Amino acid sequence: MSLLNILRYPDVRLHKIAKPVTVFDTRLKKLIADMAETMYEAPGVGLAASQVDVHEQLVVIDTSDTGTDLRVFINPEILWASEEKQIYDEGCLSVPGVYDGVERPARIKVRALDADGKPFEVDADGLLAVCIQHEMDHLMGKVFVEYLSPLKRNRIKAKMLKEERELKRDKQYATR
């Protein structure tokens, strides 16, 4: 297994729409393992393949406190969403250090495929429902900050670009 590079907002590659997974092979299983390792190391509770510049409909999620309940969702689709909404403070591995409230359906029913291509359905609420919807947004090329006001979004974008410049500068000094 190996750690993958997580794209940072506002990288344009985060806005690519992911294609359905059609081949369930050792490459896919390695990608799932690498994504899980990357998510746990970050640390995070969810990671979409789009965030590691693989534009396939694949999501890994673990909302447990122990990091022992890895869930894999391939080609996920929401079958039902409640009319009841909830606002949840969301964060994102592609937008490190930023958290803000996003309103989403409180409960959902999702159909997806597992790592072997077998279909399954999940009824989700709470953090799991939020996480699934958040990661599915990534597969559609959407980052959670796009739910925020233009003012907040622009501030976050400026902050991320500044941090990226500082990171590049620090790397240059380190190599001298």
Does 55 carry a binding-site annotation? no
Structure tokens at 7: 């794209």
Tell me the catalytic residues.
135
Secondary structure in 3-state letters for 19-67: ECCCCCCHHHHHHHHHHHHHHHHCCCCEEEHHHHCCCECEEEECCCCCC
Does 15 carry a binding-site annotation? no
Does 92 carry a binding-site annotation? yes
**Other C-beta atoms within 10 Å of 33: how many?**
15
Tell me how far apart the alpha carbons of residues 175 and 21 are, in angstroms, rounded to a whole number.
40
Tell me how far apart the alpha carbons of residues 22 and 103 are, in angstroms, rounded to a whole number.
32
Binding site for Fe cation: which residues? 92, 134, 138
Binding site: which residues? 92, 134, 138
